[in-house]
Every structure is written in C-alpha cells, then in structure tokens.
C-alpha cells in the first residue's frame, strides 16, 4: 500500500475515533456507550500497519483534546490504548491468551494511573476493598473487556476490510 493511501486512511480513522469519543460532549451523557466504538478506527488503522495505528491514536487524542480534555484523557487511557495494544500484541505474538494478557495489563496500568494518580474514578465510584483488591478488579475488568473487544473488533475489521480495502493491500 502506498504512503499517501496510508496517510489518508490514518487521518480518516483518527477523525472517526475522535468523533466517537466526543459524542457525549457534543450531545449528552446518554450516548456515552458509543465511545466504545472509538477504538475500532484505531484498531483498523493498526491492523493495516501498527505504526499507522499509533499515529492515528495520537492524532485522535489531539483532536479530542480540542473538544474536551476529560474525554481526551479517557481516550488515551482506555479505548485508544485498547485499539493500539490489541493489534501491536497480535503483530508480534499470534497467541490470543498472550495478546489478551499484555493488552489487559496495559489497560490495567492506564486505568490505575487514572484512578490513583490523577484521581478520576474509572468506574464512576470508588472501588471497594484495599488497593490490591481494587487492582485485581480492574485487571479482571480489563481482561473481560479486551476479550470481548477483540472478538468485536475482529468481526468489524473483516467487514471494513471488504468495504474499504483490497485484499492485496493488507
């Protein structure tokens, strides 16, 4: 695939990710569930080329930052990191358990950073128990979320690939 096509696809995917992530700010908190879809464009760009996915991740973060710093932080630490990590791990390792473990650890670290360093409760409320129990809960959530998201993103990527790209490009 040529460089220009990569840049255009990366920019398009970054814009889509930014749109999905900013929906609650632009409309209302009732559509917050749709922010889950902001990782799909990053995942798609990363599947085309991992470096393209990382670039799209950072460009989308800057675009979201123009609208809301809060949403940009959530994108950087949750959905964006999922889109990049699932594919980056897949690029280097083919075994799904290893992909899920590494991706879940990355998400746990980023959610813990938000929860304990920045002070934003990632689940909206304080987690029960001592800190180790809280981190285990975050890890279990991360693993479950990554597992479901990997299945969902793979399904969507196959559909997007048929629509946008030639088989020879990937």
Q: Is 165 in a helix, a strand, or coil?
A: coil
User: What is the chain's length?
Assistant: 170
In 3D space, the residue among 83, 88, 97 whose CA is nearest the CA of residue 17 turns out to be: 83
pLDDT at residue 169 tops 70? no
Whole-angstrom distance, CA of residue 51 vs CA of residue 68: 25
Domains identified in the chain and CATH numbers? 3-169 (1.10.1760.20)
Tokens of 122: 């990632």
pTM over 0.85: no
Q: Find all residues with CB under 8 Å of 161, minimum gap 6, and list them.
A: 167, 170
For 99-148, the pLDDT digits (tens) are: 888 888 988 998 888 888 888 777 777 777 788 888 888 899 999 988 98
């Amino acid at each position: 695939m040529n460089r220009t096509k990569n840049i255009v696809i990366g920019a398009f995917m970054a814009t889509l990710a930014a749109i999905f992530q900013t929906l609650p700010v632009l409309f209302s908190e009732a559509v917050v569930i749709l922010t889950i879809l902001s990782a799909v464009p990053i995942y798609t760009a990363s599947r085309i080329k991992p470096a393209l996915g990382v670039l799209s991740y950072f460009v989308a973060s800057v675009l979201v930052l123009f609208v809301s710093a809060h949403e940009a932080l959530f994108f950087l630490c949750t959905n964006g990191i999922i889109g990049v990590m699932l594919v980056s791990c897949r690029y280097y390792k083919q075994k799904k358990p290893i992909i899920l473990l590494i991706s879940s650890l990355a998400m746990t670290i980023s959610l813990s950073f938000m929860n304990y360093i920045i002070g934003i409760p990632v689940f909206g409320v304080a987690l029960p128990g001592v800190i180790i129990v809280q981190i285990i809960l975050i890890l279990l959530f991360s693993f479950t979320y990554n597992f479901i998201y990997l299945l969902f993103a793979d399904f969507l990527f196959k559909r997007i690939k048929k629509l946008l790209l030639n088989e020879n490009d990937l």
